[in-house]
Structure 1
Amino acid sequence: MKRVAVFGKPGSGKSTLSKALVAESGIPLYPLDSIVYQPNGEAVERDVFDAAHDDILSKESWIIDGFGPIGSFYQRLEVADTLVYIDLPHITSYWLVTKRLLQAVKVKPQGWPDGSSALKVTWQSYKTLRLCPKFWNQDFANKLEAMAPDKTVHVIRSLSELNHFVSQHVSKLEV
């Protein structure tokens, strides 16, 4: 495990899991939100993102959590040796996004760019969740399965599976 892509719907625990993998492995973490967005929460120019993304992919080891532009997403999946797809039920993802908003009243969620609005990010997450079935579907599952012979692929479909994955791969973490 040297190049790890962690991905899934908004609010699925990607950042928490990625940080735990970093703590256990020492592999550098590159959260996509910090590459896609400026510190004020505004999106960076696409060429700036592409250059930063290509630079990360050229490194010997990395953990990248998030989705980003579709072309870069598939590029990352091709280069990664380990894929962790968190595919929680939609209702669970909606609940986790809502829970994150409620917690954001007190503390900025980990991985959020400075200056980003909790309401704006949550609204965007809800909009993205509504569109997720158009992407996270059987066609995507087939593409992921086609990649499986050359990679280690983990598909996590429930919070209990997520907790089990964490307990197997990371010590001393609660999700």
Structure 2
Amino acid sequence: MTWKNFTKVAVLGNAGGGKSTLSKRLSDITGLPLYVLDKIKYRSGGVEVSQEEYKRAHQEILQTDRWIIDGFGCMETVWLRLDEADTLVYVDLPLYVHFWLMTKRMISGYFNPPEGWPENSPIFKGSMISYRVLWLCHKYLTPMISRIYRSGAK
């Protein structure tokens, strides 16, 4: 099977694992349009859009025929996305690797904006949010995605 067989790809995983870099590369290889949820959920400067605006934009993407969606968004929309996706890429590195990569991204982010972040996002604030999410994702989301993957259920 080749990438030509995939038309709707959801890329998920814990913070700092390289989802945005991987998603961009997949988009370059496949020609599928890339939608970065952090750029939809947050405006320039890191200002969050309303939940209604985010959900409306997310639904508009799901209604298209071809996409790669990078990121989590919110619990409500992640399940809608997984129902529509024909392919799930889940980045599941050891927790300490995510922690290290997030720290590296925070430091380098002061010189080069992180891949997939909205323009002028506050590096320190965004990194602190990512650190808080790190354990929650590891504890709750990773086991749920693993169960889905192992069961073959969609």
Q: Same fold (TM over 0.5)?
A: yes
Structure-2 change in CA distance of 1:145 and 1:45 (3 Å):
same
Q: Out of 133-142 and 66-75, give the one that drifted further.
A: 133-142
4+ aligned runs moved over 2 Å, structure 1: 136-140, 143-146
In 2, the alpha carbon distance for the partners of 1:111 and 1:139 equals: 25
Is residue 121 of structure 2 the alignment partner of residue 107 of structure 1? Answer: no
Is residue 83 of structure 2 the alignment partner of residue 49 of structure 1? Answer: no
In 2, the alpha carbon distance for the partners of 1:41 and 1:120 equals: 9
Could you tell me which residue of structure 2 aligns to residue 62 of structure 1?
67
- How far did 1:135 drift? 1.4
Is residue 135 of structure 2 the alignment partner of residue 130 of structure 1? Answer: yes
Aligned pair partner of 2:43 in 21, 38, 52? 38
Letter paired with 2:76: G
Q: Deviation per CA, 1:28-57, whole angstroms, max 9, x where unpaired?
A: 000000111112211110110111000000
Q: Deviation per CA, 1:84-134, whole angstroms, max 9, x where unpaired?
A: 001111100000000101111211112111121110111111111132233
The runs of 5 or more residues in structure 2 that have no matched partner are 1-5
Contact 2:8 2:68 in 1 (8 A): yes
In 1, the alpha carbon distance for the partners of 2:115 and 2:98 equals: 17
Could you tell me which residue of structure 2 aligns to residue 3 of structure 1?
8
In 2, the alpha carbon distance for the partners of 1:66 and 1:36 equals: 10
Structure-2 change in CA distance of 1:137 and 1:149 (3 Å):
closer
Contact 2:55 2:77 in 1 (8 A): yes
- How far did 1:137 drift? 4.2
In 1, the alpha carbon distance for the partners of 2:126 and 2:143 equals: 27
Structure-2 change in CA distance of 1:124 and 1:51 (3 Å):
same
Q: Please report the RMSD computed on the Cα atoms of aligned residues, expressed in angstroms.
A: 1.4
Letter paired with 2:48: A
Identity of aligned residues (%): 42
Structure-2 change in CA distance of 1:63 and 1:137 (3 Å):
closer
In 2, the alpha carbon distance for the partners of 1:39 and 1:69 equals: 19
Could you tell me which residue of structure 2 aligns to residue 172 of structure 1?
none
Q: TM-score, normalised by structure 2?
A: 0.91
Q: Out of 74-83 and 106-115, give the one that drifted further.
A: 106-115
Q: Deviation per CA, 1:52-83, whole angstroms, max 9, x where unpaired?
A: 00000000000001001101001101100000
Could you tell me which residue of structure 2 aligns to residue 13 of structure 1?
18
The number of equivalent residue pairs is 149
Could you tell me which residue of structure 2 aligns to residue 160 of structure 1?
none
